[in-house]
Structure 1
Amino acid sequence: MPNQSMNSKPRAAIIGGGFTGCALALDLQMRGCAVDVYERGDIASGTSGRTHGLLHSGGRYCVEDVEAGRECIQENRILRRIAKQCIEFNGGLFIALTDSDVAYGDRFALGAADCGIEVEELTSVQALKLEPNLNPTLLKAFTVPDGSFDPLRLALAFAATARRYGAVFHPYCEITHLVRREDGQVTGLEFLNRHEDRAYPVQADIIINATGAWAGDITAMAQVDVPVRPTPGVMVAYNQRLVQRVINRLCIPDDGDILVPQRRMVLIGTTSFEHGDVNYIPVYEEQIELMHKRAAELVPAVAQARMRGAWMSARPLIAAQGDARSLSRTFECIDHADQGAPGLITITGGKATTCRLMAEKTADLVCEKLGISAKCQTRDLELVSYRQYYQGSRSES
């Protein structure tokens, strides 16, 4: 049974144990809330555990999605300080393979300067000296402060630090119902403990929906909606680490425009399309073949590498007009009081790189609603070891 001991702290229930939910648990717990996190699987078992692990410099967005580009470089610098245990500081390159890529480079350089992203233009000879396996026909390149991170370690580092401050995590607990009063106020939830196959009720002063691509499933329980378009994409991993840096195609965002080294592997991502059921997204063979082709364009040696695995993941993008590829990668914090469901807040959109910022802005809104004046403290707090999440853990459900 959840710990429902009486105290003077406002109780916040977070639904979703991905990057944002774990970062939000830390932020709210440090500001004086009693926080419980409910996750239907284990930590980062949804979209957060299926990312390619890119620590974005913002370079991918600095031309077409400037707000997202600025958010990424800001949080890139913060995560390098507070979560260095999870990050490989390998840097990245944007490479031009065609004349149109070269022409885009001018816009890229201006966009990077506008967003405050440190870049340096390289000749093809200089780029090939850094990364000999690059396509030898490349025409120019730019350095960017990209990095790669271990997705599970990042989520667990936030969760372990949140737990140290008193947050309580309830894995394998699936939300089945939101409790509302006659006036519409959301006052609690019910969850199914999947280990026990037993349901429990929970009261809370505020409930935060941090379920990403599944946000609409939660808000439907309160008869409200969210502007989320789950947008899946395929990623393919290969059994050799063919580059040391993140390799980006110098072009507008496109399918297969990034190659990320992870440990002894390299992986290519991603496509972008729409699919109705985020609980089951098929891995389409034609998309795997497209990724293989695009990866080999960046690094020809991929053509001889063995595929280690392929998987799908759905981005929780904010709905707008246009195709899925054109949707912004920034985020939105939604107060459902405006829709007749006070007590329920949704945070959606964004990137793994911006999870701490997403948590901060959500915590600002939560604290405003609860009358808490405490400010965010997570910008400079170094996270404890991710290993501590499981070391000495107590039963919390």
Structure 2
Amino acid sequence: MRRSRGEEEQGRSLLCTSIPLPAQKDGSVVMRARAIVIGAGSTGSAVAHDLALRGLETIVVERGEVASGTTGRNHCLLHSGGRYCVKDQESAIECIQENMILREIMPEAMELNDGLFVAITDDDMDYKPLFLEGCEACGIPAKELSPEEALALEPNLNPKLKAAVRVPDGVFEPSRLCMSFLATAKKNGARVHTYTEVLDLLTDGRGNVTGVKVRDRTRDEVYDIEADIVVSAAGPWAEDIAAMAGIDVPVRPTPGVMVSMKGRYANMVINRLNYSSDGDIVVPQRQTSIIGTTSWKVENADYIPIPEDHVQLMLQKGAELLPPLQETEPRGIFAVARPLIAKPGVEEGRELSRTFQCFDHAEDGVEGLVTIAGGKTTSARAMAETTADVVCKKLGIDVPCQTRTTRLASYRDYYLL
């Protein structure tokens, strides 16, 4: 059974990147910034980069290490959009557009190895024309391959495959991706406080948000950070942050189980050529192969017990794509909650769109708080652009987004700044 995120973090060495705290005369501690970003996963890191690039003094607070939440526990797929091109074309278009941007601005964090969608059954073959039509409609480059061509590229594929389609999938390294965003943000004046947990939102007499009360977990010190605006990029924990202001946000934590297998059995991302389903992908990540994923609902994103039948299903489905996996031992088993946007009347997580939404809580009667939720790591830069546009409009700042073409700093610079 998986331990909670909090239990895991207690066992880690605490790497602190925060600056010394400025004590005030009355013994309290107060910092100030123009903007506070809650969360240092892919979305929060990208938001910090965009805001800092536009000239806003920005502070990031993250209760764990960089990428220690959802971002660091997914299967690390740089989406081509192929998985969504039939039933969720808005997300598919976001993915392919952002895929092409990320390739240019942060190549150090990417393995640009492409992907194959593989048909094994007649049912898969029935899906193939829908897939090709969807790729064309969404602008996703797709090349049909014969079984012989696919096996020449990936000899470990199921020899019973009937067809394959090549798309520009890739793989990212989650920590490097986030640290590249944050290193660039720090070069533009942002400050990053890891192991800094938000205890509450600061508010004025009218209930508007004016900052955050945090606890530095490395020093066990509590202090306040004031700001003109607070951006919640807390992923599946966005509900918890919004609740501090008495607000509901429609974020549904939807976990998925992934199994990391010893050995790299394909150099390309291998997808099942069919509708999204359990165990429909194997992603090469360094010297491992990650099989994913399942989908169900939880109430607490910090506590996700892993069902054993989900693990067995991943092993079975992974071996259908790459038979040598059935002779391989798992290296690790993990789960993470996706921060999906709930939709009235839709209960099944796979039926929820993977697109994102930015919530300006002035519409809920609370100024000073913005929430960004949904989306994927692949779309983090676009999510940040939308969020920063909202923030700048609220603050009366007329500076355009520059992140589409700004080459990011090396992830190696993160700890040097």
Aligned residues: 389
2:366 equivalent among 325, 341, 350:
341
* 1:85 maps to amino acid: E
**Map 1:1-397 → 2, pairs under 5 A:** 11-320=34-343, 321-322=345-346, 323-391=348-416, 393=417
Tell me how far 1:2 sits from its aligned partner.
5.2
Tell me how far 1:181 sits from its aligned partner.
1.8
8 Å Cα contact 1:57-1:76 kept in structure 2: yes
1:190 and 1:149 map into 2 onto residues whose CA distance is 33
2:211 and 2:245 map into 1 onto residues whose CA distance is 11
Q: 1:3 to 1:56 in 2, by over 3 A?
A: farther
1:140 and 1:2 map into 2 onto residues whose CA distance is 60
Tell me how far 1:36 sits from its aligned partner.
0.2
Tell me how far 1:277 sits from its aligned partner.
1.3
Q: 1:32 to 1:357 in 2, by over 3 A?
A: same
1:119 and 1:209 map into 2 onto residues whose CA distance is 36
1:164 and 1:139 map into 2 onto residues whose CA distance is 51
Tell me how far 1:3 sits from its aligned partner.
7.0
8 Å Cα contact 1:179-1:189 kept in structure 2: yes
1:149 and 1:217 map into 2 onto residues whose CA distance is 28
* 1:240 maps to amino acid: G
* 1:275 maps to amino acid: V
Q: 1:330 to 1:121 in 2, by over 3 A?
A: same
* 2:375 maps to amino acid: G
1:298 and 1:192 map into 2 onto residues whose CA distance is 46
8 Å Cα contact 1:40-1:173 kept in structure 2: yes
* 1:142 maps to amino acid: V
Q: 1:361 to 1:3 in 2, by over 3 A?
A: farther
* 1:268 counterpart SS class: strand
Q: Which stretch shows the higher mean deviation, 361-370 or 174-183?
A: 174-183
Deviations 1:321-349 (A, max 9, x none): 32111110000000011111111000000
Tell me how far 1:55 sits from its aligned partner.
0.4
Q: Which stretch shows the higher mean deviation, 179-188 or 17-26?
A: 179-188
Q: Which runs of 5+ in 1 are unaligned?
A: none
Tell me how far 1:10 sits from its aligned partner.
6.8
Tell me how far 1:182 sits from its aligned partner.
2.4
8 Å Cα contact 1:82-1:382 kept in structure 2: yes
TM-score, normalised to structure 2, is: 0.92
1:302 and 1:70 map into 2 onto residues whose CA distance is 32
* 1:342 maps to amino acid: E
- After TM superposition, the runs of 4+ consecutive aligned structure 1 residues lying more than 4 A away are 1-4
* 2:317 counterpart SS class: helix
8 Å Cα contact 2:33-2:225 kept in structure 1: no
Identity of aligned residues (%): 52
* 2:37 counterpart SS class: strand
* 1:93 maps to amino acid: L
* 1:25 counterpart SS class: helix
1:163 and 1:129 map into 2 onto residues whose CA distance is 45
